[in-house]
Amino acid sequence: MRLKDKVALVTGAGRGIGREIAFTLAKEGARVAVNDINREMAEKTAEDIGKEGYDAIGIKADITDLDEVQKMVDEIREKFGAVDILVNNAGYWTIKQFKDTTPEDWNKDIGICFIGTMNCCKAVLEDMMARKYGRIINIASDAGRVGEPFLSVYSGAKAAVIGFAKALAKEVARYNITVNNVAAGVTKTPGVEGFVSMIGEDKLVKAYPMRRLADPKDIANAVLFFALDESGYITGQTLSVSGGYTTI
């Protein structure tokens, strides 16, 4: 139980990578606030964690709305205490040639991936600074490190997350708060089913030296590493979890 007495907030944890992260942190003893824009999915993840004997609550909030995010963080403080570990996981991607994208696409990718991350950081930072403890982990993407065709807006949004985390890490280091990114490669979740079947899994894995796509557990294990007390001297870093796809 390496996260006993810690409170974690995982955004977009109704399904996919976020759900797996929520389970992983809960199994290490953290009390987990499971956020999603979809209330039923947030509550289902929390209920499933509870059935395994761990502590979780589901909270609906749209992370692109700062007021909703602030209310969510206040509710978590009342029920569990101040947030120690924030995992900015909720994300969205538009798959199109850039010339075909619209301002609505730009606002959605940037709003959920980047603005949402900033909103959640802003909402938890005051408590973290006052308590001189915090772990912020963003689920970025290798797309934000190397660029992916047909995911140009998403690549830009995730690159923004990476740059933001580097700067924030330097700002808050003196408060014993770390800020790191986990850059996932293609990971088997409901969100990428369409993309994987469009290209074909056999074809896709050829780009991955490990010759398999990531499992959500691969990403959750990296998040756990950054969440631990023992990782307290590591900040401003981006760790690719993509079977050797990105080696910068």
Ligand X SMILES: NC(=O)c1ccc[n+]([C@@H]2O[C@H](COP(=O)([O-])OP(=O)(O)OC[C@H]3O[C@@H](n4cnc5c(N)ncnc54)[C@H](O)[C@@H]3O)[C@@H](O)[C@H]2O)c1
Task: Kindly identify the residues of this chain, within the stretch 37-66, that bind ligand X according to CB under 6 A.
Answer: 37-38, 41, 62-64
Q: Which is nearer to ligand X, 132 or 211 (CB)?
A: 211
Q: Which of 30, 151, 33, 168 is nearest to 89 (CA)?
A: 33
Establish if 107 lies at the interface with ligand X (CB under 6 A): no
Establish if 241 lies at the interface with ligand X (CB under 6 A): no
Do the beta carbons of residue 21 and residue 49 sit within 8 Å? Answer: no
Q: Which is nearer to ligand X, 134 or 144 (CB)?
A: 144
Other beta carbons within 10 angstroms of residue 100's beta carbon come to 9
Least Cβ distance, residue 71 to ligand X (angstroms) = 13
Q: Which is nearer to ligand X, 152 or 189 (CB)?
A: 189
Q: Which residues contact 207 (CB under 8 A, 6 or more apart)?
A: 245
# residues near ligand X by CB under 6 A: 30
Establish if 243 lies at the interface with ligand X (CB under 6 A): no
Q: Where are the beta strands (DSSP E) in the chain?
A: 7-10, 31-36, 56-60, 85-88, 134-141, 177-184, 238-241
Least Cβ distance, residue 1 to ligand X (angstroms) = 26
Q: Which is nearer to ligand X, 66 or 129 (CB)?
A: 66
Part of the chain binding ligand X (CB under 6 A), chosen from 24-32, 70-78, 88-96, 99-107: 88-96
Q: Which of 56, 53, 66 is nearest to 19 (CA)?
A: 56
Least Cβ distance, residue 237 to ligand X (angstroms) = 17
Where residue 132 falls (left for φ over 0; alpha for ψ -120 to 50; beta otherwise) is left
Q: What are the φ and ψ backbone dihedral angles of 166, each rounded to 5 degrees?
A: -65, -45
Do the beta carbons of residue 118 and residue 161 sit within 8 Å? Answer: no
Q: Is 154 in the active site?
A: yes
Q: Which is nearer to ligand X, 133 or 181 (CB)?
A: 181
Instruction: Tell me the CA distances in angstroms from 149 to 82, 97, 122, 209, one per residue in order.
Output: 40, 7, 31, 20
173 by Cβ neighbours in 10 Å (0-12 / 13-18 / 19+) ranks as middle
Among 8, 125, 184, 223, binds ligand X (CB under 6 A): 184
Among 15, 27, 31, 135, binds ligand X (CB under 6 A): 15
Among 91, 134, 156, 243, binds ligand X (CB under 6 A): 91
Other beta carbons within 10 angstroms of residue 143's beta carbon come to 24
The catalytically annotated residue of 133, 154, 208, 233 is 154
Least Cβ distance, residue 200 to ligand X (angstroms) = 15
Residues that bind ligand X in the complex, under the rule CB under 6 A: 11-12, 14-18, 35-38, 41, 62-64, 89-92, 112, 116, 139, 141, 184, 186-187, 189-192
Catalytic residue numbers read: 154
